[in-house]
Structure 1
Amino acid sequence: MPTLRPADLAREHGISTQAVRNYEQDGCIPPAARTPTGYRIYTEAHAAALRTYLALIPAYGHSAAGQIMTALHNNELDAALTAIDHGHNQLLRDRETLATVRSAIDHLTTESAPGRPAADSDRTIGELAHRLRVTPATLRKWENAGILTPARDPATGYRTFEATDLRDAELTHLLRRGGYPLAHISTVVHQIRTAGGTAALAASMTDWQAKLTARGLAMLTASTHLNVYLLLLNRADPQQEF
């Protein structure tokens, strides 16, 4: 197989040769062979590994991309596939949450009045944290930012989250994953509560939908590169190539 220099791999992606060496050190691409004078020798398998890793990042994030590649290079295919499954599961969860929020938008002007029976049973802070897979401390932070306004049980003083609180928490969780600051989310949630001006909310939903679509397409691209790389791994002689 023809040999390549670090500069050859770097040039394709517009990155530095130091970045290529760092990716090798982190296990994102296989170890390179060395010349008698110590220079690295890469092959098309290394180039394919780098393409795969860089394609995985926009699909699954830096951490998961590194986990996937490291697992492959440790001959732990199931671990790599499990990390991919988690990414797809999170994308599906985000899509379902977005659909829930959009449904809430359609009923902004008919939100339940105070005292009306809730569509969902009241929850404690621990139960809500478990539902969203966040910590109670995170929910208290959202409360301090004015995003959540839970009632207090008159007998125990504990927070209780009603149906509208669950909706606001789901929306906050979604927008935080989209990178929105708490100040922006507080404004959006306030608009829902007051059933006034939904322009900011609609823009947020449209932007996040675009991000979900982009991530889904990135997963398709990553799977193509991953398939090519797996074929190379299956054909390669580890001693010769890596």
Structure 2
Amino acid sequence: MPPLSAMDLLTLWDSGAGLDSMGRALAVLSACCHDPSERLAALGIGERDARLLDVYENLFGPKLEAFAECPGCGERLEYELSVLECKASRPAADQDSGSLEFSVRGVALRLRHLNSLDLSAASACSDPARARRLLAERSVVGASRDGIAVDPADLPDEAVAEISAHLAQSDPRAESMVDLQCPACGKMMQQLLAIEDFLWSKLSALCKRLLFEVDALARAYGWSEAEILSMSAARRGKYLELALS
């Protein structure tokens, strides 16, 4: 994965500013992996997130520094994870198509793994139950009873619950939960690690820092943005020390 230049990072940040979380994740992958967003959008969520972890490691190193707020006492919890541990705790999706074929209440179902387009569609639902059903319906590529096709929209709630369980089991990388304990009150909790949002937050902080450096050095030396960003990070840092001293 070739590294992105400082100018590339700012261009990526600009292009993703008006996108939702799913759109930003695809924009980052497209810029870093040089694949079109349309193809990346079809990746299963587990595979997409594994690639985002690779991007994070390439840009920011092997450690993820995060924080959470205790729901019991409001204490701010800071914690650190390694990219390697995250990958090891999220085994690859089961590619055996049989794992996505089963029957419930006489309906034979065949599913596919959820992708970014599915999550984006579900995010527009105001009701969590409706979002869950929408995801289940979109994952169905075949449904029949006694050889007669069944519309996924007509599936009973029991089938929706079974579909959700099968999808989670077949693609464990699609959701990563971190177990935490509050040092202040002792409450145990689980924190969802949404790598797409975590990565974008780190990227935004880096780009804001780059803009600060450009502004400071342009004021001090009259250099253009392109001239400043073409420097190595180490050289920009040395000039910044001089400009601010």
Larger radius of gyration: 1
Q: TM-score, normalised by structure 2?
A: 0.22
Give 1 or 2: higher helix fraction. Answer: 1
Give 1 or 2: higher strand fraction. Answer: 2
Q: TM-score, normalised by structure 1?
A: 0.23
